[in-house]
Structure 1
Amino acid sequence: MRMTVNGHEAYCYTGGKSFSRELPTVVFIHGAQHDHSVWALQTRYFAHHGFGVLAVDLPGHGLSKGVPLASVEAMADWLLAVLDAAGVKQAALVGHSMGSLIALEAACRAPERVGKLALVGTAYPMRVSAALLEASMNEEQKAIDMVNIWSHSTFMQKPSFPGPGFSALGVNRRLMQRISATQHAPVFHTDFAACNAYANGEHAAGTVACPTLFLLGRRDMMTPPKAASSLAALIRHARTVQLEDSGHALMSEQPDAVLDTLFDFMKSAG
C-alpha cells in the first residue's frame, strides 16, 4: 500500500490482503537498518485473521522515499501522519528495537490514537557505543556484521525456522546490506544516532494508559531484558513476556512464539 506522507511516498505492507480501516488496525514498526519484511510471518497471520495491517517502511528504508529521519520524535510524528493518510483513527502499535521507541513516543504524543502498545526488544535508554556509532558511519559493513552477530543468541538454527537451508543471520545480513545499497543517506548511522539521543522515554512511559506488552528475548545482548526495567516500572499495568531461547532478533529466532504472544495480546480484552 502506497500513500503520500509529508510530501514523500510511503509504503506499508498489508499482509497479503487489501487494507480495511473497518477492521481493528495493527501497525508494525521495524528497527534500525530494517524494513517491513522483518514482520513477514506475523503480519500475514494478523491480516488473515481479522485485523487490518500496516507494516511501515520508515522514510529512507525499504520502499519509502525521503531521507531517514534524525530523531525518534520526528519518526513518531511521521507514524501518526501515516495513520492520518490511511484514515485510521486508532491503532495498536507494535515496535521492535528503534521501532519500540517510536511506538512509545507516538503513544505519548497522541494517546487517543493508540489502543494497545507492544514493545519488542526494547530498552531505555537505548545507548549505542561510540565504536558502533563510528563504524556505522565509516565502516558500515563492519557495523552490520557486529550487529548481526550480537542480535542472535546462537549461530544454530532453531526448530521454529521455516525450513532446511534457512539462515536467520544470512537473511538479516542481506536485508541490512540492501538498505545500504538502495539509499544514499547513511541510514544505519542516522538510526543509531536517533536511538542514542532519545531522552523522553521515562516521561513517555509515565503517560501510557493503554494495555501494554513488553516482549523481550532472555538472551538479548543488544537490549537486555534488565534494560527495559525502567520503562516497565513506569507502566505499572504492563505485562512482560520473556522468550527463553531468543536474542534481539526475536521475530526470526522465535517467529511462532512472537506471533502467538502478539496475537493473544491483541485479542485480549485488556
Structure 2
Amino acid sequence: MKRDINGAACYAYTGGKPFDPALPTVVFIHGAQNDHSVWALQSRYLAHHGYSVLAVDLPGHGRSGGPALVSIEALAAWLVAFLEEAGVQRAILAGHSMGSLIALEAASRAGGIVAGLALLGATYPMKVSDALLETARSDEAAAIDMVNVWSHSSIAHKPSCPGPGFSVMGGARRLMQRMSARNPDGLFHTDFAACNAYANGEAAAATVQCPVLFVFGAKDVMTPPRSTKLLTGLLTHGRIVTVDAGHQLMAEAPDAVLDALSGFAAAALK
C-alpha cells in the first residue's frame, strides 16, 4: 500500500491482504538500516488471521521515498501521519530496536488509537558507541559487518530458517547493503544517531496507559537484557517475554516472536 506523506510516496506491506481500516490493525516498525521485510512471517500470518497489517518502510528506507528523518520524534510524527492517512482506527504498534523508540514516541502522540504497544529488542536510552557512530560515518560497509555480527547469537542457524541453504546472517547483511545502495546519503549513521540522541523516552512512557509487551532476546548484545531495567521500570504494567535469540530475534526465533505477538494482539484488540 502506498500513501503520500509530506510530499513523499511512502509504502507499507499489508501481508498479502487488502488493507481494511475497519479491522483491528497491527503496525510493524522496523529498525535501523532495515525495511518491512524483517517482519515477513509475523506480518503475513496476522494479515491472514483476522487483522489488518501495516509493515511500514520508514522514509528513505525500502520502497518509501524522501530523505531519512534525523530524529525519533520526526519519525514518530511521520508514523502518526501515515496512520491517519490510512484511516487506522485501532492499532497495536510493534517496533523493533529503533522502531521500538518510534513506537513508544508515537504512542504518546496518538494514544487514542493505540490499543497496545509491543517493544522488541528495545532499551532506553539507546546509546550507540562513539566508535560505531564514527565507523558508520566513515566506512558504512564496515559498520554493517560489525552490526550484523553483533545482532546474531551465532552463525549456526535455527531449524526455523525458511529452507535449506538460507543464511539468516547473510540475509540480514544483504538487506543492510541494499538499504545503503538505495539511499547512499549516510542512512546507517542517520538511523543510529537518531537512536543515540533520543531523550524523550521517560516523558513518552509516562503517557502510555495501554497494555505493553516486551520481547527480549536472551543472547542480545546490542540491547542486552541488563540494559532494559529503566524502560521496564517506566512501563511497569508491561509483560516480558524472553526468546532464545540475539538482537535479530524476528529472524532467529520467528515462531516464538509470532506466538508472543499473536497472543498479545488477541488480548489487546479483543
Q: What TM-score does the superposition give when structure 2 sets the normalisation length? A: 0.98
Are 2:98 and 1:120 aligned?
A: no
| Secondary structure in structure 2 of the residue aligned to 1:41 | helix
Equivalences for residues 224-243 of structure 1 within 5 A: 224-243=224-243
For residues 113-133 of structure 1, what are the alpha-carbon distances to aligned partners after superposition, in whole Å with 9 as ceiling and x for unaligned? 211000000011100001110
Counterpart in the other structure of 2:182: 182
| Secondary structure in structure 1 of the residue aligned to 2:178 | helix
Counterpart in the other structure of 2:38: 38
Once the 2 structures are TM-superposed, how far is the Cα of residue 162 of structure 1 from its aligned partner? 1.6
Identity fraction in percent: 62
Stretches of structure 2 that go unaligned for 5 or more consecutive residues are none
> How far, CA to CA, are the matches of 1:112 and 1:226 in structure 2?
32
Counterpart in the other structure of 1:247: 246
Equivalences for residues 139-218 of structure 1 within 5 A: 139-218=139-218
> How far, CA to CA, are the matches of 2:62 and 2:137 in structure 1?
19
For residues 28-72 of structure 1, what are the alpha-carbon distances to aligned partners after superposition, in whole Å with 9 as ceiling and x for unaligned? 000000000000000000000000000000000000000000000
> How far, CA to CA, are the matches of 1:242 and 1:39 in structure 2?
18
Runs of 4+ aligned structure 1 residues displaced above 6 Å come to: none
> How far, CA to CA, are the matches of 2:219 and 2:184 in structure 1?
34
> How far, CA to CA, are the matches of 2:149 and 2:176 in structure 1?
13
Once the 2 structures are TM-superposed, how far is the Cα of residue 269 of structure 1 from its aligned partner? 4.8
Cα distance change on mapping 1:255 and 1:190 into 2, 3 Å:
same
Are 2:80 and 1:80 aligned?
A: yes
| Secondary structure in structure 1 of the residue aligned to 2:55 | strand
Counterpart in the other structure of 1:16: 16
> How far, CA to CA, are the matches of 1:137 and 1:195 in structure 2?
15
User: Retained in 1: the 8 A contact 2:80–2:109?
Assistant: no
Q: Please tell me the residue identity of whatever aligns with 1:182.
A: R
User: Greater CA deviation, 70-79 or 16-25?
Assistant: 16-25
Q: Please tell me the residue identity of whatever aligns with 2:235.
A: I
User: Retained in 1: the 8 A contact 2:29–2:99?
Assistant: yes
Stretches of structure 1 that go unaligned for 5 or more consecutive residues are none
> How far, CA to CA, are the matches of 1:231 and 1:128 in structure 2?
16
Equivalences for residues 56-135 of structure 1 within 5 A: 56-135=56-135
Counterpart in the other structure of 1:258: 257
> How far, CA to CA, are the matches of 2:184 and 2:67 in structure 1?
8
Q: Please tell me the residue identity of whatever aligns with 1:50.
A: G
Once the 2 structures are TM-superposed, how far is the Cα of residue 202 of structure 1 from its aligned partner? 1.4
| Secondary structure in structure 2 of the residue aligned to 1:268 | helix
> How far, CA to CA, are the matches of 1:84 and 1:127 in structure 2?
31
Query: How many pairs were matched up?
Result: 269
For residues 191-235 of structure 1, what are the alpha-carbon distances to aligned partners after superposition, in whole Å with 9 as ceiling and x for unaligned? 000000000111211221000000000110000012221111121
> How far, CA to CA, are the matches of 1:73 and 1:217 in structure 2?
26
User: Retained in 1: the 8 A contact 2:116–2:268?
Assistant: no
Q: Please tell me the residue identity of whatever aligns with 2:260.
A: T
> How far, CA to CA, are the matches of 1:22 and 1:269 in structure 2?
16
User: Greater CA deviation, 82-91 or 95-104?
Assistant: 82-91
Q: Please tell me the residue identity of whatever aligns with 1:150.
A: W
Q: What TM-score does the superposition give when structure 1 sets the normalisation length? A: 0.98
> How far, CA to CA, are the matches of 2:60 and 2:90 in structure 1?
25
What's the Cα RMSD here?
A: 0.9
| Secondary structure in structure 2 of the residue aligned to 1:241 | strand
Cα distance change on mapping 1:31 and 1:73 into 2, 3 Å:
same
> How far, CA to CA, are the matches of 1:23 and 1:203 in structure 2?
30
> How far, CA to CA, are the matches of 1:246 and 1:269 in structure 2?
25
> How far, CA to CA, are the matches of 2:48 and 2:22 in structure 1?
14
Q: Please tell me the residue identity of whatever aligns with 1:140.
A: E
> How far, CA to CA, are the matches of 1:77 and 1:269 in structure 2?
23
| Secondary structure in structure 1 of the residue aligned to 2:264 | helix
